[in-house]
Amino acid sequence: MSITTTTIALRWTVVCPLDRLDPNRGVAALVDGVQVALFRTADELFAIDNRDPVTGAYVLSRGIVGSRGGLPTVASPLHKQVYDLRTGDCLDLPGVSVTRHEVRCRDGMVEVRLRQEG
């Protein structure tokens, strides 16, 4: 028997004004019942699950924002695994990733659209 995984895109949800996000800092938000970690760099916004896939703790919004090889990253505050903010892939543990969500700024407001594996 084969199990098929599909990605479901839900509606856009307004989270906060853009000026509430400090550059290179994370913040946690509850979006349609899902804890999301939002990050603002100098010129981009990123949204990933707040749940660290290695430990199961909801802490990625408290991670250290940086870069590796030109990629925007966040390091888990617990065991320091580094995640690519563009893809959600862990750069330290092949095969480990965190769900990435769509994020945009519209009329000065940050909006997130969840992606759920199902």
Mean pLDDT of 56-78: 97
- pLDDT, tens digit (0-9, with 9 covering 90-100), for 93-115: 999 999 999 999 999 999 999 99
Q: Indicate whether 54 belongs to any domain.
A: yes
Question: Which residue range forms the structural domain that includes residue 66?
Answer: 7-117
HSE on the CB side for 51, CA within 13 Å? 11
Q: Indicate whether 2 belongs to any domain.
A: no
Q: Indicate whether 16 belongs to any domain.
A: yes
Q: Contact 57/78 with Cβ under 8 angstroms?
A: yes
> Residue 34: which CATH number?
2.102.10.10
- pLDDT band (50, 70, 90) for residue 41: very high
Q: Indicate whether 88 belongs to any domain.
A: yes
Task: Report the number of distinct structural domains present in the chain.
Answer: 1
Q: What is the pLDDT of residue 9?
A: 52
- Measured in degrees and rounded to the nearest 5, phi and psi for residue 56 equal 85, 0
**pTM of the predicted model as reported, rounded to 2 decimal places:** 0.88
Q: Contact 41/65 with Cβ under 8 angstroms?
A: yes
Q: Indicate whether 1 belongs to any domain.
A: no
Asked whether the predicted pLDDT for residue 45 surpasses 80, the reply is: yes
Q: How far apart are CA 2 and CA 42, in angstroms?
A: 43
Q: Indicate whether 40 belongs to any domain.
A: yes
Q: What is the mean pLDDT of the chain?
A: 91
Mean pLDDT of 46-65: 98
Q: Contact 64/72 with Cβ under 8 angstroms?
A: no
